Amino acid sequence: METDKLLENNERYSKGDAVHKPNYPGRQPIQPSKRVAVVACMDARLDVEDLLGLQTGEAHIIRNAGGVVTEDAIRCLIISHHLLNTREFVLIHHTRCGMLAFTDDLLKAGLEGDAASGKLLGQATGRKFAGPGKSSCSPSQFHAFRGAIEPLDSPRSEKSTERLEWDVRRSMSIIQSHPWIPTQGEDAVTVRGFIYDVDTGKLEEVSYPGPMGSFG
């Protein structure tokens, strides 16, 4: 599987090797040559091409806050598979993620002007939180990770790792259960999830199925 080769590339990357080639490769087909689609966080410390050793034209890369499988990410994956022939999906969360530092309700309240929420968000982020003081129906969710919040960019802990694992599994479950993404038969896709350690450069695979946390 191509995903296993990408993990080998990551091992080299974590040891300091430059696996990704940044030069323009010339004309290429529209279909990703490795038939891989990656969903990863937008965090500035993740260079997906570098850490997976991907070259231009080899994979689709979908990024958002948290690397969450949102409705738009599902839209992209369906197009990626059914129209552009990808067969392996790779999900990447990471340590010290900002999505561990708030809840949806807390951020909404702060944006709507609640002073106590704004103070908590300011303490968590280390910057003054200036809520616009207005309500909005969009976005409907921020997809913060389940569990007790922690200060922004806190060192990795057993609890934060567990929270990351919960969300990786939730994202995997969303993909695996979607009626338009085949996981059996000749057109099946594989789905694998990982946590990237921003302090070591290494990917760690998340087992599935497993605990996904509670809504509380």
Q: In this model, does residue 102 exceed pLDDT 60?
A: yes
pLDDT of residue 72: 97
Whole-number Å distance between alpha carbons of 6 and 64: 21
Q: In this model, does residue 216 exceed pLDDT 60?
A: no
- Tokens 């570098």, residue located: 50
pLDDT of residue 58: 97
Whole-number Å distance between alpha carbons of 198 and 100: 15
Q: Considering the chain, what is the average pLDDT of its residues? A: 95
Confidence at 209, pLDDT banded by 50, 70, 90: very high
Q: In this model, does residue 80 exceed pLDDT 70?
A: yes
Please give the structure tokens belonging to residue 44.
Answer: 């500035």
Across the strands, what pairs with 191?
89
What phi and psi values does residue 189 have, to the nearest 5 degrees? -105, 155
Please give the structure tokens belonging to residue 35.
Answer: 């038939």
Burial class of residue 48, CB neighbours in 10 A (0-12, 13-18, 19+) = buried
| Helices and strands in the chain: count of H runs, count of E runs | 6, 5
Instruction: Reduce the DSSP state of residue 191 to 3 states and report it.
Output: strand
CATH no. for 2-99+146-206? 3.40.1050.10
Q: What is the pLDDT of residues 34-69, one digit of tens each?
A: 999 999 999 999 999 999 999 999 999 999 999 999
What phi and psi values does residue 123 have, to the nearest 5 degrees? -65, -40
pLDDT of residue 215: 54
pLDDT of residue 71: 96
Q: In this model, does residue 24 exceed pLDDT 60?
A: yes
Whole-number Å distance between alpha carbons of 171 and 206: 11
Residue of 57, 51, 64 lying closest to 34 (CA atoms): 57
Confidence at 213, pLDDT banded by 50, 70, 90: confident
What phi and psi values does residue 190 have, to the nearest 5 degrees? -100, 150
pLDDT of residue 132: 96
Q: Is the dihedral of CA 7, 153, 168, 62 positive or negative?
A: negative
Q: Which amino acid is at 45?
A: R
Whole-number Å distance between alpha carbons of 143 and 203: 22
Locate CATH 3.40.1050.10 in the chain.
2-99+146-206
Mean pLDDT, residues 85-89 taken together: 98
pLDDT of residue 161: 97
Q: What is the pLDDT of residues 148-183, one digit of tens each?
A: 999 999 999 999 999 999 999 999 999 999 999 999
Mean pLDDT, residues 72-85 taken together: 98
